[in-house]
Homo-oligomer: A and B are copies of this chain.
């Protein structure tokens, strides 16, 4: 190819890592790289639940793009992607249009609300810095309101988390740490605050080993979290939610419903006419879209099957980062005009879910289970490892998590 235009959409885990790899691998006189992102910062989606609970400031979670992307080598555009026209090799942005020779789609996820009435309008989502910061402030505002209003409104102090998956459970852990601080700040008796989890399955973390799920529930229950399992959310109003369990409907008064029960790929993929499975592009082993040799999909936008188990790989940060290496390598091959495209082979280290600042569970290596302090430490190692990979020692020092009980 003669000075190809490489366009990367989205600076999430997959997109930004692809850009960082390419800026090292490619000669800029021979290709042009453009990275497009809605914000001028990258953020670690897996830390947002801490920002939402207010246990970690969002400036720890976000990283200015310019701190990790060399803007002398990569054009950075702050804009919103409106649509992709793969047949014309064009991307429409809110403020312009881009032509590409090679495209990487890393536009991330959206929350899935499954058509549950009122959820989209009244629930809060842990999606990005803006929505996480709003949850933090919404919690504080409702505690302040509780003290200010004449009639004591319990709905101000009931916090409902919808979904006991990974994000839901990690958020519950942070809430369990945060509530005592909020009670002190707002002169509220801790015993009247309720943290309630609603989960459709019979246990939280349904994909995990049952022993780990049980440990997580016990740990959170001991810190005041209530679990309502086997329950389906029916409706979310601004001041209450309605759920069904064992055929019976119940209501919980709450101004704070945080919905963490499902994600789907960015709707732009569907709208742009890509062949998709549940909104995601089922990519070939080399991470390219089935019908387009010049389009890669990555992270939450890509569906890729584990051929050993015949199930899709989970949509985790770990996998997105590893996919970026394959994508970057394959783009280099295309630019050079060789056929030497790699197939994506994940190297799964396992998964660790935090349960607040002093407890965690891990499912690592060959079904080895970790609990408590060891899992807490491993979680921080994983987080720090990513920072090192993305921005080197400087970034690790600025944003890393070094305190075990911070």
Name A residues whose Cβ lies closer than 8 Å to a Cβ of B. 130-131, 133-134, 136-138, 140-141, 144-145, 147-148, 186
Contact = CB atoms under 8 A, between A and B. Distances in A.
Nearest to A58: B185
A133 B185 CA distance: 10
A160 to B, nearest CB: 19
A226 B147 CA distance: 32
A147 B140 CA distance: 17
A391 B134 CA distance: 40
11 contacts: A130-B144, A131-B148, A133-B144, A133-B147, A133-B148, A134-B141, A134-B148, A136-B144, A138-B141, A138-B144, A141-B141
Contacts of A140: 137, 140-141
Nearest to A40: B187
A21 B251 CA distance: 54
A156 B79 CA distance: 24
A60 B130 CA distance: 30
A199 B256 CA distance: 38
A141 B7 CA distance: 36
Nearest to A62: B187
A361 to B, nearest CB: 32
Contacts of A130: 144, 147-148
Contacts of A186: 133
Contacts of A141: 134, 137-138, 140-141
A124 to B, nearest CB: 9
Residue among A134, A137, A186 having the largest count of chain B Cβ atoms under 10 Å: A137
Contacts of A133: 144, 147-148, 186
Nearest to A143: B137
A133 B182 CA distance: 13
Nearest to A136: B144
Residue among A130, A144, A186 having the largest count of chain B Cβ atoms under 10 Å: A144
A131 B147 CA distance: 9
Given A134-B148, A141-B141, 11 more contacts: A130-B144, A130-B148, A133-B147, A133-B186, A134-B141, A134-B144, A134-B147, A137-B137, A137-B140, A137-B141, A138-B141
Contacts of A138: 141, 144
Nearest to A39: B187
A137 B131 contact: no
A136 B185 CA distance: 13
A136 B144 CA distance: 9
A69 to B, nearest CB: 19
A91 B136 CA distance: 43
A122 B131 CA distance: 25
A144 B148 contact: no
List 10 tightest A-B contacts by C-beta distance, closest first. A137-B144, A134-B144, A141-B141, A134-B148, A130-B147, A137-B141, A130-B148, A137-B140, A133-B144, A131-B148
Contacts of A131: 148
A136 B186 CA distance: 12
Contacts of A147: 130, 133-134
Contacts of A137: 137, 140-141, 144
Contacts of A136: 144
A57 to B, nearest CB: 9
A182 to B, nearest CB: 11
Contacts of A148: 130-131, 133-134
A185 to B, nearest CB: 8
A186 B148 CA distance: 25
Contacts of A145: 134
A63 to B, nearest CB: 14
